Amino acid sequence: MTQRWVRLSAWARMQGISKMSAWRMAAAGRIPGAQLNELNRWMVLVEDEPPATTTVAYARVSSQDQKADLDRQVARIAEWAAREGVRIDRYVREIGSGLNDRRRELGALLSDATVATLVVEHRDRLARFGAGALERALGATGRRLVVVEEREIDDDLAPDMIDLMTCFSARLYGRRSARNRARRAAEVLKVDPDAKVAQA
């Protein structure tokens, strides 16, 4: 546990008392670690409490029509946690493509230093690509990723492929028609897997 010096006024705020009461207590020697500095100001040595750590389960699907699977993911993680004796402090659900980083809930979890353990059912629930890099980044800050089931799944690969094709189409044809071209290309591939995407 680390220690640091704070001004008496800051210590008073931390304790919920007035500055005048804190000054009287310090002058009477009733504040452990309080002393006058070289500028004749009261300083108090306080101990920093380590941040509370939490374990968060993260569930994700790519589109609204798969929303029911969020609850199934959460239920499967809860079953695993009960079986393994792992305490899950919070469950986070998100709808968004695993091919990009525009996911607000995941971004908040990754930037929250109190989240010590992130639990996902499958690695691709975290990200379709780059999950390994995210795992190493978590490890570098003393946190970890737990993957309940290492086996990959492909239940929402089609929406992710549309997102990927949209990205490429946007570069070729402009952003306005990119999404429509990507959808048409996906429909052609569903009807005739040997068809060329250029036919769309």
- Residues with catalytic roles: 62
* Spatial contact of 26 and 40, defined as CB atoms under 8 Å apart: no
* Reduced 3-state DSSP string for the chain: CCEEEEEHHHHHHHHCCCHHHHHHHHHCCCCCCEEECCCCCEEEEEECCCCCCEEEEEEEECCHHHCHHHHHHHHHHHHHHHHHCCCCCEEEEEECCCCCCCCHHHHHHHHCCCEEEEEECCHHHHCCCCHHHHHHHHHHCCCEEEECCCCCCCCCHHHHHHHHHHHHHHHHHCHHHHHHHHHHHHHHHHHCCCCCHHHC
